[in-house]
Amino acid sequence: MTGKLVKAIDLTLARLAPRTASAGDLVVFVFHSLIDRPDDLRKELLDPYQPATVDDIDRLVGLLRARGFTLVNGRDLATGTVTGPAAWITFDDGYANNLKLLPLMRRRGFPATIFVSSAHIESGEAYWWDVLHREARRRKVPATDIAVRREQMKALPIAAIRETIIAEFGAAALRPTGDDDRPMTPAELAELAKEPLMEIGNHTHTHTILPVVDINAQRAELRACQEALERLTGQLPLSLAYPNGDFTSATVAAADELGLRLAVTCLPGRANLTRLSAAESRLTIGRFGSLRHGRIERELTLAMAMAGIATSLAERRRRQLVTASSRHR
Ligand SMILES: [Zn+2]
């Protein structure tokens, strides 16, 4: 069954049997780039994957509060005192365009987390998926073909991805074009980390999709990001987002050993606050990740639905990985 079909069925079920949030609910949302207006994607500088406008986030916060949700971040959750229903808004990668969020956060008083790949902050290098999209579009490759290519490249170690990009488009292509597609600078990140509502989380050092490499390399990636972020922000991260949402049993154990208190995946399922004391639950928290512009309300309906097909599939996958994890220990 295709993802689209699963979603259509789940959405129909959700609308037939609406569910109100319960005290144990934790729903987590993932975003990447923030754009000013949907037309900005026409510049073709960013991989058009889960873009959101500041207005979208504003609308999401309003909808969540109207439904009784308290907005939290990983620092709040790590205290173990949050009572639900709770919602956590997260951004992956560390784009400078995420700085657009700050005025809204302050005005509406909600917390959020930005998960940062620290090597990008230090090097200023563009994210490879944006380079692929920008350069391939300049060569008139259809966007759907680029998306297929992107998914294939994710199977490679990060060094090989970089080499492929350089071989095909030249080293200069790795330079961002400007504020739309660049990572934050070290100074911007340090400033952002001072904002009391903002949490900075680990997203690995080089944005390595962890299961692609062996467990020693996974540990090194997680540790290098912890160390770099502590150096850059003065704070040791408590939360982790697995790049591409991917983890193995061993990854979860490594995150636990490093003292990371919470970790988020891309498996679309609600978490239960009462179960977060168990490492296997708090280090495999699901996230809803297709809040595309203009579909915020629809996606929230899905996130709140009775367990649909997508949620059941995600939970089955999570359990498989977690069970493997306890066997390894
Ligand atoms: Zn990422």
Residue 93's domain comprises: 3-126+176-318
Q: What string of DSSP letters covers 297-329?
A: HHHHHHHHSSS-HHHHHHHHHHHHHHHHHHHH-
Position 270 scores a pLDDT of: 86
Residue 263 · residue 152 · CB < 8 Å: no
| C-alpha–C-alpha distance, residues 239 and 273, integer Å | 16
Q: What string of DSSP letters covers 193-220?
A: HTSTTEEEEE--SS---GGGS-HHHHHH
Q: What string of DSSP letters covers 264-283?
A: E-S----EEGGGTTSHHHHT
Please tell me the total number of residues recorded for the chain in this structure: 329
Is residue 307 assigned to a domain? yes
Q: How far is the CA of 242 from the centre of ligand 1 (A)?
A: 8
- Higher-pLDDT residue of 107 and 310 is 107
User: What is the model's pTM?
Assistant: 0.91
Q: How far is the CA of 258 from the centre of ligand 1 (A)?
A: 20
HSE-CB for 303 with a 13 A CA cutoff: 33
Q: How far is the CA of 20 from the centre of ligand 1 (A)?
A: 31
- pLDDT tens digit sequence for 145-203: 999 999 999 999 999 999 999 999 999 999 999 999 999 999 999 999 999 999 999 99
pLDDT band at 116 (very low <50, low <70, confident <90, very high): very high
Residue the block writes with tokens 């939290």: 72
Is residue 70 assigned to a domain? yes
- pLDDT tens digit sequence for 241-275: 999 999 999 999 999 999 999 999 998 888 999 99
Is residue 169 assigned to a domain? no
Cα three-residue angle 120-284-308, rounded to 5 degrees: 115
Is residue 156 assigned to a domain? no
Q: How far is the CA of 93 from the centre of ligand 1 (A)?
A: 5
Position 329 scores a pLDDT of: 36
Q: Output the domain CATH number for residue 52.
A: 3.20.20.370
Q: How far is the CA of 31 from the centre of ligand 1 (A)?
A: 10
Position 324 scores a pLDDT of: 65
Position 131 scores a pLDDT of: 97
Is residue 152 assigned to a domain? no
Q: How far is the CA of 208 from the centre of ligand 1 (A)?
A: 9
Is residue 69 assigned to a domain? yes
Q: How far is the CA of 99 from the centre of ligand 1 (A)?
A: 17
- pLDDT tens digit sequence for 21-73: 888 999 999 999 998 887 777 777 777 666 788 988 998 999 899 889 999 99
- pLDDT tens digit sequence for 205-223: 999 999 999 999 999 999 9
Residue 326 pLDDT greater than 50, yes or no: no
**Total domains, the chain:** 1
Position 12 scores a pLDDT of: 72
Q: How far is the CA of 244 from the centre of ligand 1 (A)?
A: 6
Position 129 scores a pLDDT of: 96
* Cα dihedral 76→77→83→85 (10° resolution): 100
Is residue 141 assigned to a domain? no
| C-alpha–C-alpha distance, residues 59 and 255, integer Å | 33
Is residue 87 assigned to a domain? yes
| C-alpha–C-alpha distance, residues 277 and 292, integer Å | 32
In the predicted model, what is the mean pLDDT of the chain? 89
Q: How far is the CA of 168 from the centre of ligand 1 (A)?
A: 22
Q: Which of 126, 212, 213 is nearest to 175 (CA)?
A: 126
Q: How far is the CA of 42 from the centre of ligand 1 (A)?
A: 22
Position 327 scores a pLDDT of: 43
Position 286 scores a pLDDT of: 92
Residue 285 DSSP code: B
pLDDT band at 13 (very low <50, low <70, confident <90, very high): low
